[in-house]
Structure 1
């Protein structure tokens, strides 16, 4: 199947979305600085956030800063509930985003409970951080949430299709590598 680039943020950005991506804003309220896409048959999701650039920490530490903020939002605050396995730079020349000053990849794991339930699910989290410089001073944070263990007591347990064709790391990489800004705002 040939993929086409889909508009994000009202057409300001575009990228290749994985097959079967459902725009979460058609189901629930999504903040203006986010685009959320859910897998049609699994609990996987891809979230794109446009954030004010974090300059208090170095480029390399900024992705960990954002991962920790995600852990806080996911109520995975303890050291055992969120672990960083790998952080590495992404060569800028492999991306097409304009005004990029640096790009980073993080792979980590979080123990996450959905809707503040007691039951926690193990989620592999892949994060790409695109840091825009100059007058844009923006961090574009792209996260791929990939549940690998769903607790039987979790509300997500009923929603899983064990035979679903799941998104892969390659789908995520194609998404962030294809991301391009169409309309720049100052």
Structure 2
């Protein structure tokens, strides 16, 4: 793990050193950073979104999760837990709202549904009217059991990423 600069260094977080910046191989919107694992189908998306209406942090995280399920055309989705991880560093980065869930989606034009585990962190910047959303998408449908091993490894990396995320330059949200 090393410190990864996102959005030109305006945000930093601890991330695996071998991640691939998706913008090097495809177009990525300016409001997103997309990182790919070279050895699996796991992806990380960091996205600057307009702050959603629910003021309750649990409902806000569930709203973003529901929007993702809609965008993924998920057959169904399940929220397993929503918790808050306080930021006690005193650097102005909001507390992380952590959602753990899963979705069943049809990938790669297959007829069967794949299970994708979703780990999401939402950082609410109320003064800027922004929700910064970090999503780790972890396919766990592998029949050989490797999907569960990937999930365990990636969960640890998500925890490090979301706890270490630091907003260095708040002008990103102007």
Query: Above 0.5 in TM-score?
Result: yes
Which residue of 73, 79, 91 maps to 1:75? 73
CA deviations over 1:9-48 (Å, ceiling 9, x no partner) = 1221111112421111111111111111111011111111
Specify the alignment match of 2:63 in structure 1: 65
CA distance in 2, matches of 1:31, 1:130: 19
- Call closer, same or farther: CA 1:19–1:45 in 2, change over 3 Å: same
List gaps (5 residues or longer) in structure 2: none
Matched-pair contact (CA < 8 Å) for 2:2–2:17: no
CA distance in 1, matches of 2:52, 2:2: 32
Which residue of 135, 151, 161 maps to 1:175? 161
Specify the alignment match of 1:91 in structure 2: 86
Q: How far off its partner does 1:97 sit?
A: 5.6
For the aligned residue pairs, the C-alpha RMSD in angstroms reads 2.4
- Call closer, same or farther: CA 1:71–1:97 in 2, change over 3 Å: farther
Q: How far off its partner does 1:170 sit?
A: 1.2
Please say if 1:143 is aligned against 2:135: yes
Which residue of 6, 9, 31 maps to 1:8? 6
CA distance in 2, matches of 1:67, 1:108: 8
Q: How far off its partner does 1:116 sit?
A: 5.2
CA distance in 2, matches of 1:130, 1:115: 31
Specify the alignment match of 1:111 in structure 2: 104
Q: How far off its partner does 1:57 sit?
A: 4.6
CA distance in 2, matches of 1:83, 1:103: 20
In the alignment of these two chains, the number of paired residues is 168
CA distance in 2, matches of 1:85, 1:36: 24
Which structure is higher in helix share? 2
- Report runs of 4+ in structure 1 exceeding 4 Å deviation: none
List gaps (5 residues or longer) in structure 1: 152-161
SS state at 2:39 partner = coil
